């Protein structure tokens, strides 16, 4: 736990004491909060999603395409058509109650399935237009294909894009297409919306040289003050920086009413075991409660919260929870009609069998970004096998590049592409033992935030101690597989390494690979092709955990 977490991760009981709020859980686990402050009588409902990651079709329990058998048994979730039904139903109910509402998306519509691979974000925007959104902020994955592709995506949007800390230079394809802020009127009241995108997008994605990212707290401090000077004090932050950073923002930037977040795929719920409580609560510098909401990812949940505002714009009453989008929500027929013609060009590809799995392969975010995971071992082994004849001894993959699990039985190319959707290529290079250890140490330093740089490895093992502070030696006992078994890594020796082009180029903060790597070579072979070939050659494949990362 970070120092910030120790001092600011407020429990419900702790928050009652610190901020004078009364909190409770009501029926079905819904969160409620009230303070003693007098209200204005104005309330606003927020419907929100984040990190849909191109899940236009309904998904399985593994967040991959739902199989026909699961569909027949009503074991599917989410998808654009089911999301449309849920949002429309809640709007109708809110309208009937006379409650004004806003529908928001906290970013990362892009990347994750063949819809993005095939249509470059245009299909996702088409769905959003049909459902109707009031605003969206940009996620880092919106930049995956560069600014020109993103510009084409934004040109189709019938809703505003707000991300004030993103600055596109004059002449950039994105120049003038991203709003600094929005003012939305409801029942005669003005609501300010500020958006922020993680500055890490510079190395997480491909924004290009003409797009820069201001520090989010620095930007919000100035932007909130500017809106307040214009008489707007009901201020919502639509963020794509992650839950941990959202809490830091709430604690350091005064004047924010509430934060609707994304990026960390945080499961917030008051009815799901192990989930983070909805809403997260943080005390602002002036002592007012700031609720923070997030709705997991992949369209599995819709978040809904009702906020009542005080005279100063502070939230004085709030209630809500995330809603699981299961078979209780019938997919909207008009959205299905939009999706149907999009499926044609990709269905044949997705249905092609690749291999039989004797066991499922766990590729969950919470596993692969924190510990040795089955999908990490499988992908790293496939990379090493691909270059076995080149004397390469070690493979390194980033947990954030693994986007799904696989179930037992027949898997298709579509399943493989859902696990590895980024079209990254196999990349070989040479590094010293010192650089290798530095890479591992960097990779494990973001576990608390669920950072995607977590190292999944092959031909290598090490001990990880998370009780040690970041950059203080969390990694120890690093060993490399040699001709006669495991050998301690030699800091001065040179080792052959296979990774992906993203990490080799310094992505996910692996600058030591970019700067210290030698004799680099991009094979131009897609990692998905490598994994598909490995599974096919080793079927029926059974995944395992074999102690590469000891904790």
Is the pLDDT at 154 greater than 70? The verdict is: yes
Checking if the pLDDT of 2 tops 70, the result is no
Predicted confidence (pLDDT) at residue 224 exceeds the cutoff of 80: yes
d(CA 302, CA 83): 8
Q: What is the mean pLDDT of residues 362-373?
A: 96
| Greatest CA separation for the chain | 76
Q: Which of 391, 345, 360, 424 is nearest to 61 (CA)?
A: 360
DSSP string of 525-545, one letter each residue:
EEHHHHHHHHHHHTPSB----
- Residue 323, beta-bridge partner list: 302
Residues 62 and 77: beta-carbon distance below 8 Å: no
Q: Find the angle CA(93)-CA(95)-CA(98) to the nearest 5 degrees.
A: 115
Token pair 């967040």: residue: 63
- Proportion of the chain above pLDDT 90, given as a percent: 80
Domains of the chain: 3-330 (3.60.21.10), 349-550 (3.90.780.10)
For position 11, what pLDDT does the model report? 45
51-100 residue pLDDT tens: 999 999 999 887 877 888 888 899 999 999 999 999 999 999 999 999 99
Q: State mean pLDDT over 161-185.
A: 97
pLDDT digits (tens, 9 = 90+) for 92-121: 999 999 999 999 999 999 988 888 888 999
Sign of the CA dihedral 83, 89, 90, 94? Answer: positive
Give pLDDT, residue 22.
65
pLDDT band of 24, cuts 50, 70, 90: low
Q: Which whole number is the average pLDDT over 248-275? A: 95
Q: Which of 13, 309, 29, 253 is nearest to 21 (CA)?
A: 13
pLDDT value for 23: 60
Instruction: Quick: pLDDT tens for 375-414.
Output: 999 999 999 999 988 889 999 999 999 999 999 999 999 8
**Per-residue pLDDT at 328:** 96
What is the rounded distance in angstroms from the CA atom of residue 222 to the CA atom of residue 444?
33
Q: Per-residue confidence at 222, pLDDT binned at 50, 70, 90?
A: very high
Check if the beta carbon of residue 431 is closer than 8 Å to that of residue 494: yes
Tell me the three state secondary structure of residue 69: helix
For 140, the token pair is: 């880092």
φ and ψ at residue 421, rounded to 5 degrees: -90, -5
Instruction: Give 53 or 37, the one with higher predicted confidence.
Output: 53
> In a 3-state reduction of DSSP, which class is residue 250?
helix
pTM listed for this prediction: 0.78
CA dihedral for 230, 103, 292, 40, sign (positive or negative) = positive
């Amino acid at each position: 736990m970070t120092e910030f977490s120790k001092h600011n991760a407020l429990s419900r009981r702790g928050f009652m004491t610190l901020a004078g709020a009364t909190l409770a859980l009501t029926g079905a686990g819904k969160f409620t909060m009230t303070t003693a402050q007098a209200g204005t009588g104005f309330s606003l409902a927020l419907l929100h999603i984040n990190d849909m990651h191109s899940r236009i079709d309904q998904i399985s329990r593994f967040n991959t395409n739902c199989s026909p058998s699961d569909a027949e048994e009503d074991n599917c979730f989410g998808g654009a058509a089911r999301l449309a039904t849920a949002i429309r139903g809640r709007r109708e109910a809110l309208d009937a109650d006379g409650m004004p509402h806003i529908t928001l998306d906290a970013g990362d519509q892009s990347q994750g399935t063949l819809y993005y691979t095939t249509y470059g974000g245009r299909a996702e925007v088409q769905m959003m237009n049909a459902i109707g959104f009031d605003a969206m902020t940009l996620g880092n994955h919106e930049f995956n294909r560069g600014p020109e592709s993103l510009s084409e995506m934004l040109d189709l949007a019938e809703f505003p894009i707000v991300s004030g800390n993103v600055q596109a230079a004059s002449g950039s394809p994105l120049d003038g297409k991203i709003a600094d802020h929005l003012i939305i009127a409801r029942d005669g009241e003005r609501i300010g919306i500020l958006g922020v995108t993680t500055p890490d997008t510079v190395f997480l994605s491909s924004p290009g040289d003409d797009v820069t990212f201001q520090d989010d707290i620095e930007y919000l401090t100035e932007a909130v003050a500017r809106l307040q000077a214009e008489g707007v004090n009901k201020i919502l932050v639509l963020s794509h920086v992650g839950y941990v950073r959202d809490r830091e923002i709430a604690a350091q930037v005064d004047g924010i009413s509430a934060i609707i977040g994304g990026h960390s795929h945080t499961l917030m719920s008051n009815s799901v075991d192990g989930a983070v409580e909805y809403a997260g609560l943080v005390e602002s510098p002036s002592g007012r409660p700031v609720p923070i909401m997030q709705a997991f990812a992949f369209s599995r949940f819709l978040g809904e919260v009702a906020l009542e505002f005080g005279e100063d714009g502070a939230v004085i009453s709030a209630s809500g929870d995330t809603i699981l989008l299961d078979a209780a929500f019938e997919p909207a027929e008009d959205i299905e009609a939009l999706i149907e013609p999009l499926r044609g060009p990709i269905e044949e590809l997705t249905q092609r069998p690749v291999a039989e799995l004797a066991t499922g392969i766990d590729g969950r975010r919470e596993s692969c970004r924190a510990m040795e995971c089955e999908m990490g071992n499988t992908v790293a082994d496939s990379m090493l096998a691909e270059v076995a004849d080149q004397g390469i001894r070690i493979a390194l993959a980033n947990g954030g590049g693994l986007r799904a699990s696989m179930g037992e039985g027949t898997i298709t190319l579509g399943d493989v592409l859902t696990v590895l959707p980024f079209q990254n290529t196999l990349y070989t290079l040479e590094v010293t033992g010192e650089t290798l250890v530095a890479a591992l140490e960097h990779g494990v330093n973001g576990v608390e935030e669920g950072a995607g740089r977590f190292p999944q490895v092959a031909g290598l093992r090490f001990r990880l101690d998370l009780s040690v502070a970041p950059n203080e030696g969390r990694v120890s006992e690093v060993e490399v597989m040699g001709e006669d078994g495991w050998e301690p890594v030699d800091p001065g020796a040179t080792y052959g390494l296979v990774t992906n082009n993203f990490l080799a180029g310094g992505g996910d903060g692996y600058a030591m690979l970019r700067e210290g790597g030698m004799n680099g070579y991009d094979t131009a072979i897609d990692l998905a092709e490598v994994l598909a070939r490995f599974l096919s050659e080793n079927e029926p494949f059974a995944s395992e955990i074999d102690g590469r990362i000891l904790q």
